[in-house]
Structure formats: structure tokens, C-alpha cells
Amino acid sequence: MADSTPLLSHSPPKLNDISSPEEIIEPFFGSCGIEWPQILQVILVSLACFFEAQQTFITIFTDAIPTWHCTQLNNTNCNSMSNICQLSTNEWNWDKPIYTSIVSEWSLHCSDNPILQGLPASSFFMGCLLGGLVLGLLGDTIGRKTMLFFGCLIMSMASIFIAFSNNIWMYSALRFLSGYGRAAIGSSVLVLSSESVAKQYQGQVGTVGFLMSTLGFVSLPGLAYFSRNYSWRVLYLWTSLPTIIYCMLLQFCVYESPKWLLSKGKNREAFAVLTTFVAPHFKNLSLNDHKVKIDNGFNQPLIKILLKKRWILGQLLLALTTGFGIGLMYYGMPLGLGNFSLNLYLSTGLNAMLELPAFLIVFFLVEKCKRRSTLVGLSILSGVCGMLCMIVDKWKVLQLVLELISFFSACTAFDLFLIYTSELFPTSIRNATVSIVWQAVVLGGVVSPVLVDAGGDRSKILPYLVLGIMTSIAGSLVIFLPETKGLDLCKNMEEKEQEGNGASYVMNGV
């Protein structure tokens, strides 16, 4: 039923009758804690999330509606409440040069189609969605490191070309391509980092990428503020050119996952990585004649596995729905800050800084909190506060507080949910399933900007009511998934099926 390949071992660990990559690698990782080569590996891999966060939220500033002023002091037709589309061009003017935003440069503020302003942001997330379905599935085939490299390269090159766009359609197309590359980054970082350390450190290591994402988001308002009087194209160049340098660093300084290498029968490559990670503790690490059975899931397409293993399909569908609900608020609140009567730089900076305490909470409590009940509570809190923040539009401080609570809850839920997803599925399909679930979160990012912009100036409350209700309901569906707190990561699918019937496993959460 399964193929046999030589097994990595050394004298101390007992490696008889091994049947999964986790059981092969764990004796080496678990016997020596976490070493500096592994820490460096995790930091370098997670650094990709820094650049990914910048490209995700960059449109908050490049696509913002600039402030304007009346040019004729005694003109009673022009005031702060006027609709500039109904004024003549000599009655008003932008406060800053027109090239500071795509809205003023391409005259999108008076477009007949209100969705046009949100098109670039939605195009980016649609690219993420397609990229997740195409590139994410390749991560289990061509390797975690290779997928991460190409994802960063595609995203950065597309962002460089965006700086030379001359219309909204070219801009949106390149944002789509940038999102396509970005889709491979998140899941590859999460899986490659967690597979480079022992299981007792995988929860904490999985949050390092979220920390880097936070730092990337926090850096964006600062960069945007210092370039506020320059062209919006400058911000794209400042954030994309360093990513090219990172791609070269990634190619030469990061190792492939030893678990993935072993699952593909590349024992010598896995041995080389293990030697680098744990050589100070295991001087006699070598290949011997032990055999290992490799999970057949590594050699089967995901679609075929889902059709044969209905319990996996059931878990995946529930995870997709939950991820979509969380994504509505996680991306919808910061990308919709232009709809609030708040200082854009201040509100964006506060939102970005909230990712840090969200990261710290998940980092320190990931091994202590129950996944399902925590996610349900965070989803409902985010949804309710998201609905209320637009209703209390007249009280600016209260509106800001509710918006921050909504985003903070969604951010914490997002961090915890992706770690939870990586714990649900076997190694053979972990990269693919995490990537697909990640794209469900991204789908929320596709829907939220269009939904918010579709309301226009006449109905700002209704879109946020819809977002809040959908987030609360979809996030609550996680209760039907199994609890993973305190459990080992899934082994191969055959062993998982022996632990219990698939249907009862999904519905009863045992």
C-alpha cells in the first residue's frame, strides 16, 4: 500500500516502525530544543510576511480620496458639505498635487461607477484567490521554499510595474498579478516555519509570521506620511524594491522543509538540513537501512483525496466558511477607513499597531486557549462592533474605539485561525489545505471593498450591517470543527481514520 525508502536516524532516537515524516524528524528536533540555525530559518522565512503586509494594505494610501478646498472665498455654492462633482473645476481644488493619489490623478472621484474606486483592491484579492488555488496546491509538489520564492518574486515584480501604470485598468491588472504572487506567501511561511522546529514550538513559531506582518503594516503609515507630497508611485517603489533583495536572500540562506524532503524520498537533502539544524547535538547523524512508509496522500491530487476522504472535505468546507467570515472584517475594516470621518494616517497607524498585541496574545496563549470557543467569541465581537461603528457616526471617538475593537478581534481571530487550520489536516495535504483556507479569508477581502463602495455616500450603514452579520454567523461555524488544543499534529490519513469515524469526528469535535 505504501512505498518504502531509507530512513534518517542516529544512535539515540529509536526509529523502528516509523510511518510518518513527523515521527521520523521529531526524535531529532525534540531531543535538542530549538537551535540558532532553526531560529534564523524561522526569522528569514517569516520576513516575507513583512513585505506581503505592505502590498496588501498599500491601497489605503495610494487609492485614498484626497482632501480638497474651495478656491473662491465668497462662493456660497462651495463648502465642506458640497459634492465636488456638482461644482465647476474653478470653484475647488485638491489640497495636494493630483499625483499623490490615483483618485485625483485619474479623476475617479466623479466616476459614474462607484465600484471603480474599489476595483484595484478587489482585483488584488481576486488575484490572491486564483493564486491560492493554483500556487497553493503546488506547495506540496515543488516544495515550501520554492513556492515562497516565486510568490515573493511575482508580487514584487508586479508592484514595480504598477509604478508605471497610466490608467485604472492597467493598475488593476497589475494589482491582480501582485495578489496572485502574494497568495503563495502566507501558507508557505506558516508551513515551512512550523516544519523546521519540534512540535512543542510549532504554535509559537507559527505566530512569528504574524509579527512580521504587523511590523510591515506598521511601517506603511510612516512611509506613506513621508511620501505624502510625492507621487503614489514612489510608495510602490519603496515597498517593492527591497523585496527583490529579500528574494535573493531567501534563495541562498533558507533551507527546504526536512519533513517535505523526506516525504518526497529526498533523504540525502533532508539529512543535510537536519545536520545543519541539530549537528551540535548529534555528531553521528547518518543514513542507515531503516525503512519508512510514506503516506500515499503525498502522491495523490487533493481533489482525489477530498472525494475519497469525506471527513477531510467536511472539515475543509467548514474552515472555508469560517475563514471567509473572518476575512470580511480583517480586510474590510482597514481598507474601509476612508469611509470614516477620521484622520487616515492616525487611524491606519492605530489599526496597524493593534496587530502587535493580537500577535502577543496568540503567541503566549496559543498553547492554553481552546481554539473553537475563542474563535467564536472573537468573530461575534468583531461583527457586532463593526456594525455599531457606522451607526455611531456622530461620535468620532466612540466610532474609532468600536472600529479598533472590531479590527483587533478580527486580527486575533485571523492569527489563531490559521494556526488552528494547520493543526486540522495531515502533513501530506497541509500546505494545500492551509493555502485554500487562507484564500477563503482573502475572498472576504475581495467582497468587503466592493460591498462597502457599493453603498456609496447614501447608504454607508447597510454594508457594515451586512459585514457584521456575515462575520458573526460564519465565524460561529467553527464550533462544528474538532478541538485541537493539546493534541499532536495530524499524522498520515490512514492513522487519522483509525482514530475515529470521519463524520462523527467533524460533527462531535472529538
First to last CA, the chain: 28
- According to the 3-state scheme, what is the secondary structure of 453-498? HHHCCCCCHHHHHHHHHHHHHHHHHHHHCCCCCCCCCCCCHHHHHH
* Three-state SS at 69: strand
pLDDT at residue 154, as a whole number: 95
Look at residue 264 in the predicted model and tell me its pLDDT: 79
Q: How far apart (Å, rounded) are the C-alpha atoms in residues 262 and 275?
A: 14
- Tell me which CATH code domain 31-67+92-280 carries: 1.20.1250.20
Q: Any bridge partners for residue 291, and if so which?
A: 6
DSSP strands (E only) in 58-106: 68-70, 92-94
**pLDDT given for residue 211 in this prediction:** 85
CB 278 within 8 A of CB 35: yes
Give, in order, the Cα–Cα distances in Å from 329 to each of 39, 294, 332. 32, 40, 5
CATH class as words, domain 299-496: mainly alpha
The pLDDT, as a whole number, for residue 79 is: 78
Q: What is the reported pLDDT for 11?
A: 45
* Grid cell of 22 as nine digits: 513527523
Q: Which of 374, 263, 188 is nearest to 25 (CA)?
A: 263
Looking at residue 359, what is its pLDDT?
A: 79
Residues 382 and 410: their CA atoms lie apart, in Å, by: 6
Q: What is the pLDDT of residue 289?
A: 40
The helix, strand and coil proportions of the chain, stated in percent and rounded to the nearest 5, come to: 70, 5, 25
- What pLDDT is stored for residue 489 in this prediction? 53
How confident is the prediction along the chain (510 residues), in pLDDT tens digits per residue?
A: 444 444 444 444 444 444 456 666 666 665 566 778 888 999 999 999 999 999 988 988 898 888 888 887 777 778 777 778 788 878 888 888 898 999 889 888 777 666 777 788 888 888 988 887 787 667 677 888 999 999 999 999 999 999 999 999 999 999 999 999 998 898 889 888 888 887 778 777 877 888 898 899 889 988 998 988 899 999 999 999 999 999 999 999 999 988 888 877 787 888 888 778 776 555 555 544 444 444 444 456 667 777 677 778 888 899 999 999 998 888 888 877 766 666 777 888 888 888 888 878 887 877 778 888 899 999 999 999 988 887 877 787 888 888 889 989 998 998 888 888 878 877 667 777 887 887 788 788 778 877 776 655 555 677 788 888 999 999 899 898 888 776 655 544 555 555 544 433 333 332
Whether the CB-CB separation of 254 and 44 falls below 8 Å is answered with yes
pLDDT computed for residue 287 by the predictor:
44
Question: What is the C-alpha separation between 445 and 56, in angstroms, rounded?
Answer: 10
Write out the residue limits of the CATH 1.20.1250.20 domain(s) in the chain: 31-67+92-280, 299-496
**Distance from the Cα of residue 268 to its chain's centroid:** 33
